[in-house]
Amino acid sequence: MGLSRLNGLSDDELVEELKEISRKCRVEIIKMVYRAQAGHPGGSLSEIDLLTALYAINMNVNPNDTKWEDRDRFVLSKGHASPGMYSILAEMGFITHEDLESYRVLGGVCQGHVDMKHTPGVDFSAGSLGMGLSFGLGCSFAAKFDGSPRNCYVMLGDGEIQEGAVWEAMMAARHHELGNLKVILDCNRIQNDDFVESQMRLFNIPEKWSSFGWNVKEIDGHDMYQIIEGMRWFDENNDLPSVLIANTVKGKGVSYMENNPKFHGAAPNEEQYSKALLELGEVI
């Protein structure tokens, strides 16, 4: 599980290691989107701290056996934020850093949306939003039927939960007491067209999930100490489905992308690219 070099570290040491992995992933996200001159940098940058900790701490997977039956499953329901997932898969050894150069290239390993037919380590092919939780529900059911200890982790976006199918799946997961279903909600407050608040207000999100009978925990999605605590909280709660509500910043780490709806799905130009890499501590 996770990266062996992280075993035995103190929390302070673990935080520093995870921060550095996240930083390197952010650099790769910017490079992917810049090379392709297309893609979704904002949501990839908001999710990457969470994905880094998830794969380093929780996910029971093996890069050398991507079809291992009892592996944990991860569903990136907000599948357009694929550069974030590809970057952590490269860090974990599922794909190579050279594979990242195929992002949005026809027939490449790294397609625009995550695709289980193309990318080792991807268990869900994304397209229309709102479908990932239902898919995760099925994965969790399958694990119970198989008598397997595997968990299913699903990442949703806050704009995405405006989809009605998400709430149906939430209700079904609680009814069937799927304690092996664990959701990370990336609340970066921006969706495709504008701020979520302007498109459709979500009001009190933790209260809503609680009312559906889920275990609920809210954190700062960029505070690595809180993220680590949240990942451990997942491991401690297996009676009912659980949701970790992470308050994040769209475009986190790149000043002109942060809280900027324009970079939901836009690539930086050459000047912006250089500025992003400098801000992320990368030598050009």
Confirm whether 259 is domain-assigned. yes
Containing structural domain, residue 53: 4-279
Average pLDDT of the chain? 96
Could you tell me the CATH number of the domain that includes residue 90? Answer: 3.40.50.970
3-state secondary structure the chain: CCCHHHCCCCHHHHHHHHHHHHHHHHHHHHHHHHHHCCCCHHHHHHHHHHHHHHHHHHCCCCCCCCCCCCCCEEEECCHHHHHHHHHHHHHHCCCCCCHHHHCCCCCCCCCCCCCCCCCCCCCCCCCCCCCHHHHHHHHHHHHHHHCCCCCEEEEEECCHHHCHHHHHHHHHHHHCCCCCEEEEEEECCECCCCEHHHHCCCCCHHHHHHHCCCEEEEEECCCHHHHHHHHHHHHHCCCCCEEEEEECCCCCCCCCCCCCHHHCCCCCCHHHHHHHHHHCCCCC
**Mean of pLDDT values over 235-259:** 98
Q: What is the pLDDT of residue 4?
A: 64
Model confidence at 127, pLDDT cuts 50, 70, 90, reads confident
- Residues 50-100 have pLDDT tens digits of 999 999 999 999 999 999 999 999 999 999 999 999 999 999 999 999 999
Confirm whether 163 is domain-assigned. yes
Quote the CA–CA distance of 169 and 130 in Å, as a whole number.
10
**Mean of pLDDT values over 119-140:** 96
pLDDT reading at 1 higher than 60: no
Confirm whether 65 is domain-assigned. yes
pLDDT reading at 3 higher than 80: no
Confirm whether 284 is domain-assigned. no
Query: pTM (2 decimals)?
Result: 0.96
Counting the structural domains of the chain, the total is: 1
Confirm whether 95 is domain-assigned. yes
pLDDT reading at 5 higher than 90: no
Model confidence at 8, pLDDT cuts 50, 70, 90, reads confident
Confirm whether 145 is domain-assigned. yes
**Mean of pLDDT values over 158-164:** 97
- Residues 29-58 have pLDDT tens digits of 999 999 999 999 999 999 999 999 999 999
Q: What is the pLDDT of residue 2?
A: 66
Confirm whether 21 is domain-assigned. yes
Sheet strands side by side (includes 181-187)? 73-76, 152-157, 181-187, 242-247, 215-220
- Residues 165-184 have pLDDT tens digits of 999 999 999 999 999 999 99
Confirm whether 131 is domain-assigned. yes
Q: What is the pLDDT of residue 110?
A: 98
